[in-house]
């Protein structure tokens, strides 16, 4: 069964799980970006708008702390730790070099203060203290970081510490950082608000967020800077304008100002020349399918997760959706069973594809209805 729907105008939720996405060449092309590696991606659709060397393994410096924060947020969500837990500061944490939150050895500091200090001030001491509190040692915590990276599909990432200090076995990619950034925004919105804070005061010392775009562009609300001599100046950023959220990652720029300027280029380009539309919410009927030998003759079909698309501005009305439903569908049918797919095209290119699933379960029919359907299936092939 093939159904075609033109000029899609359905409203849906933000997050999507696109299984295939062919690129569309925008006009004009993306600006030149002075970075070793970069990527610009839409949050809702997953569409990569611009990229260069996005899969090159590079040292991430303090952008590492995005994963440290992600693991801590999971631990909080699971109830294993609490924001008001008191963390005993070890000598190792206290002696950490680089950016610091100025915590004192053998004192007790709440998890929330350490987490905010790590996110806003980029405190290496806070990162190690949190790692030791959760896992006993920073080395064990790094194993947890790698496990979460695998779950998120970060294929070219390996962590050896919680801070991002240089290590030959500590690396990631712009694409993987974009994946992690999206997960932070999606999974922990209450904690994400801290990434927009411009300063944080602890131990009577006020420090400013190093993300200059928080002052220059009101649409930017995160995420994290990083710098070492080896990594250069790096920035993972996110901004939202008119309900469209973009994620940008630049790695290996030559200065603090450069990482902000190159990121601003990418964000402005994406917002100016592209638009994102929510097409289908999750578990809302898109199509139906004939069910044989069931208690009902029709099953409602929808998407397990919402679907959004990002297209060049002005081309939304050219979108065409088609559904391809499995035949035959024979009861019993479990809710969530994959029974076809929906495909979104722009011109000749498939820009999104996702499985159709059963919204409702269908039980087997009685013996007489099953017999009749068996005969009809034989007759009609």
Q: What is the pLDDT along the chain (381 residues), one digit of tens a residue?
A: 344 443 343 433 323 333 333 344 446 788 999 999 999 999 999 999 999 999 999 999 999 999 999 999 999 999 999 999 999 999 999 998 887 788 889 999 999 999 999 999 999 999 999 999 999 999 999 999 999 999 999 999 999 999 999 999 999 999 999 999 999 999 999 999 999 999 998 878 888 999 999 999 999 999 999 999 999 999 999 999 999 999 999 999 999 999 999 999 999 999 999 999 999 999 999 999 999 888 999 999 999 999 999 999 999 999 999 999 999 998 999 999 999 999 999 999 999 999 999 999 999 988 888 888 688 888 886
Whether residue 6 sits in one domain with residue 88? no
Whether residue 351 sits in one domain with residue 216? no
CA distances from 264 to 123, 210, 212, 366, 369 (A): 25, 15, 10, 64, 64
Query: What DSSP letter does each residue of 17-32 carry, written as one string?
Result: --SB------SSPPPP
Q: Look-up: residue for tokens 């712009």? A: 174
* CATH code assigned at 86: 3.40.710.10
| Neighbour count for residue 13 (Cβ, 10 Å) | 15
State how many domains the chain has. 2
Whether residue 295 sits in one domain with residue 248? no
Whether residue 297 sits in one domain with residue 197? no
Query: What is the distance between the alpha carbons of residues 71 and 323, in angstroms, rounded to a whole number?
Result: 39
Phi, psi of 107 (to 5 degrees): -95, 165
- What is the per-residue pLDDT for 96? 87
Whether residue 74 sits in one domain with residue 12? no
Q: Is 6 exposed, middle or buried (0-12, 13-18, 19+ CB in 10 A)?
A: exposed
Whether residue 311 sits in one domain with residue 182? no
Query: What is the distance between the alpha carbons of residues 321 and 156, in angstroms, rounded to a whole number?
Result: 34
| Cβ atoms 234, 149 nearer than 8 A | no
The answer for residues whose C-beta is within 8 angstroms of residue 41's C-beta and 6 or more apart is 47, 48, 49, 178, 182, 246, 247, 248
- What is the per-residue pLDDT for 15? 30
Whether residue 243 sits in one domain with residue 304? no
* Residue 208 lies in domain: 37-253
Query: What is the distance between the alpha carbons of residues 329 and 4, in angstroms, rounded to a whole number?
Result: 20
Q: What does the block give as tokens for 229? A: 């001599």
- Asked if the structure places residue 29 within a domain, the reply is no
Query: What is the distance between the alpha carbons of residues 317 and 7, in angstroms, rounded to a whole number?
Result: 5
Whether residue 119 sits in one domain with residue 167? yes
Whether residue 313 sits in one domain with residue 209? no
* CATH code assigned at 294: 2.60.410.10
- What is the per-residue pLDDT for 27? 60
- Asked if the structure places residue 9 within a domain, the reply is yes
Residues with catalytic roles: 62, 65, 122
| Cβ atoms 13, 306 nearer than 8 A | yes
- 3-class secondary-structure state, position 364: strand
pTM metric for this prediction = 0.87
Whether residue 102 sits in one domain with residue 235? yes
The answer for residues whose C-beta is within 8 angstroms of residue 103's C-beta and 6 or more apart is 89, 93, 94, 109, 114, 117, 123, 125, 126, 129, 202, 203
Whether residue 350 sits in one domain with residue 317? yes
- H-run or E-run covering 309: strand 307-312
Closest to 41 (Cα-Cα) out of 305, 291, 223: 223
Last residue of a domain, one of 198, 218, 253: 253
Query: What is the distance between the alpha carbons of residues 147 and 158, in angstroms, rounded to a whole number?
Result: 10
- Asked if the structure places residue 28 within a domain, the reply is no
Whether residue 42 sits in one domain with residue 8? no
């Amino acid at each position: 069964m093939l159904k075609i729907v033109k000029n899609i105008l359905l409203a849906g939720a933000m997050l999507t799980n696109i299984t295939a996405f062919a690129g569309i060449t925008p006009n004009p092309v993306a600006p030149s970006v002075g970075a070793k590696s970069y990527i610009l991606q839409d949050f809702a659709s997953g569409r990569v708008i611009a990229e260069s060397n996005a899969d090159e393994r590079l040292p991430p410096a303090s952008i590492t702390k995005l994963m440290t924060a992600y693991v801590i947020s999971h631990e909080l969500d699971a109830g294993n730790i609490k924001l008001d837990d008191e963390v005993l500061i070890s000598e190792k944490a206290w002696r950490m070099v680089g950016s610091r939150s100025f915590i004192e050895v053998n004192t007790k500091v709440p998890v929330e203060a350490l987490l905010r200090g790590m996110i806003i001030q980029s405190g290496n001491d806070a990162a190690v203290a949190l790692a030791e509190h959760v896992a006993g040692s920073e080395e064990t915590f790094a194993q947890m970081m790698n496990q979460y990276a695998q779950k998120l599909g970060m294929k070219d990432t390996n962590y050896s510490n919680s801070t991002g200090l240089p290590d030959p076995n500590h690396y990631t990619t712009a694409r993987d950082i974009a994946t992690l950034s999206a997960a932070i925004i999606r999974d922990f919105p209450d904690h994400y608000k801290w990434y927009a804070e411009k300063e944080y005061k602890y131990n009577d010392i006020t420090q400013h967020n190093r993300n200059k775009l928080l002052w220059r562009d009101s649409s930017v609300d995160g995420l994290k800077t990083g710098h070492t001599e080896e990594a250069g100046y790096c920035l993972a950023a996110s901004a939202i304008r008119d309900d469209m959220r973009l994620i940008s990652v630049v790695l290996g720029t030559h200065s603090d100002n450069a990482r902000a300027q190159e990121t601003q280029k990418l964000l402005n380009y994406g917002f100016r020349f592209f638009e994102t539309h929510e097409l289908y919410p999750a578990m809302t009927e898109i199509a139906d399918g004939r069910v044989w030998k069931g208690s009902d003759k029709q099953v409602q079909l929808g998407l397990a997760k919402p679907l959004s698309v990002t297209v060049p501005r002005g081309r939304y009305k050219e979108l065409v959706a088609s559904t391809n439903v499995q035949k035959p569908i024979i009861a019993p049918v479990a809710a969530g069973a994959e029974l076809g797919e929906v495909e979104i095209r722009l011109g000749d290119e498939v820009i999104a594809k996702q499985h159709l699933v059963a919204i409702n379960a269908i039980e087997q029919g009685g013996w007489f209805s099953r017999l009749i359907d068996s005969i009809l299936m034989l007759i009609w092939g």
